[in-house]
Amino acid sequence: MAEIQIDMTLGPVLARTGDERAVLGAFLDFHRAIVLRKARGLTDAEATRRLVPSATTLAGLLRHLTLVERNWFPYLLDPAPGDVFPTSEEDAAASFALAEGETLDSLADAYERACDRSRELAARFPLDHVVPQPQLGEVSLRWIMVHMIEETARHAGHADILRELTDGSTGQL
């Protein structure tokens, strides 16, 4: 399974005196790593088991966060022909649904690749760089980074609860 390289014992503490970009990147990478850590060591059956009334599963969270990374970084900062930023509630709900043949390992690998691409694109632009966003008008890279910290941290919390319900494992480490 893919693994974002970050010292989980220190997390964003390593960037405590860094510049704004370093701090934002450290917090985002920390939460990305937590999501992967929560999925690590589970079987495909455990990761796809529904434990809450919604369709949210650990595998579904990985798929959703992969699509979220693509939506907020490549689709806005370096759109390819045909890229369309999803704007409906149906798009959001569908992002948790697994495609046939997707495994926990393939989902984790796709998530790590999406995170790598996001980092690469974000590094190209200053934090003040502004891009059009279909629902909000314009957003800066700074806003995208803060939004992605919030989005990823929220889902890391969901992953923590799902993992605890699966095998009792808790905590960021």
Over the stretch 63-92, which tens digit does the pLDDT of each residue have?
999 999 999 999 999 999 988 888 777 777
- Tell me which residue of 76, 70, 68, 71 sits closest to 138, measured CA to CA: 76
Helix (H, G, I), strand (E, B) or coil at 132: strand
DSSP 97: S
Fold of 11-167: Four Helix Bundle (Hemerythrin (Met), subunit A) (1.20.120)
pTM of the predicted protein model: 0.90
Distance of alpha carbon 163 from alpha carbon 130, whole angstroms: 37
* pLDDT of the residue at 64: 95
CB-facing half-sphere around the CA of 89: CA atoms within 13 A: 0
Q: In 10 A of CB 31, how many CB atoms?
A: 25
27, 20 Cβ separation under 8 angstroms: no
CB-facing half-sphere around the CA of 141: CA atoms within 13 A: 20
* pLDDT of the residue at 6: 52
- Low-confidence stretches of the chain (pLDDT beneath 50): 3
The pLDDT tens digits of the residues spanning 147-166 come to 999 999 999 999 999 999 99
The ranges assigned to domains in the chain are: 11-167
Strand ranges in the chain using DSSP code E only, listed in sequence order: 130-133, 137-140
